[in-house]
Structure 1
């Protein structure tokens, strides 16, 4: 079975999470500079079998696109064109950064660790991926 990869796209940094090959466990993989994201995806998809890429969909409270919405939509379309054999899915990512901070606090991380924005992005990507897995299992 192939992995599922999740992306928490940001202006500067992008958090990435991935499942195990059985698609049971969602784990943070890393955070990359958004400018290096396309190269990272090319390399990763050459090395690993990925069936689905889940991209966080930033929405306002009234369900309209956030300020990054158009950029992320264009990115999602470009990913689908570049990797036509990989399914591209979208998941609402509202509150994932707040949930990531809460998770870090609950796990007992020190204040200095909680300030690590790259780690927050990676955890947010993991939350996006877990949301996708939970939704998929409920169907």
Structure 2
């Protein structure tokens, strides 16, 4: 199975997860960038894609709870287009990320991580949840 990147894009951090060849999602890193400096984040994601030889991305799409598209979701859609502008061969799917932070927080609490450690990895764990959701949907579609 090809490896896939999962992204949880925020305004200052990007949680990154990656799947292994068995299709299991793992946390990769939390990338911090200057507030709104998406070009810096884009460059880093392109480096990770090249380093890990990945050509598919599950990008978290933060819809509002009522399913409507808000400012953050529009920002993620623009980020997707920017990535495709840098590499048109990428396969990028927008994945509904509602509730992912809550699921990730619950997992970290169950793992008995301190508040400080949870804060340090929450976006990365949210990216894992996004990637798991995408992998599960792909598997169910087959």
- 2:32 aligns to what? 33
Query: What runs of 5+ residues in structure 1 fail to find an aligned partner?
Result: none
Superposition pairs of residues 38-117 of structure 1, within 5 angstroms = 38-114=42-118, 116=119
Question: Which residue of the other structure, out of 109, 117, 122, is the alignment partner of 2:124?
Answer: 122
Query: What runs of 5+ residues in structure 2 fail to find an aligned partner?
Result: none
Quote the Cα distance in structure 2 between the aligned partners of 1:102 and 1:40.
Answer: 28
Q: Secondary structure at the match of 2:27?
A: strand
Instruction: Give TM-score, length-normalised by structure 2.
Output: 0.88
Instruction: Give TM-score, length-normalised by structure 1.
Output: 0.90
RMSD, matched Cα: 1.4
Count of residue pairs brought into register by the alignment: 136
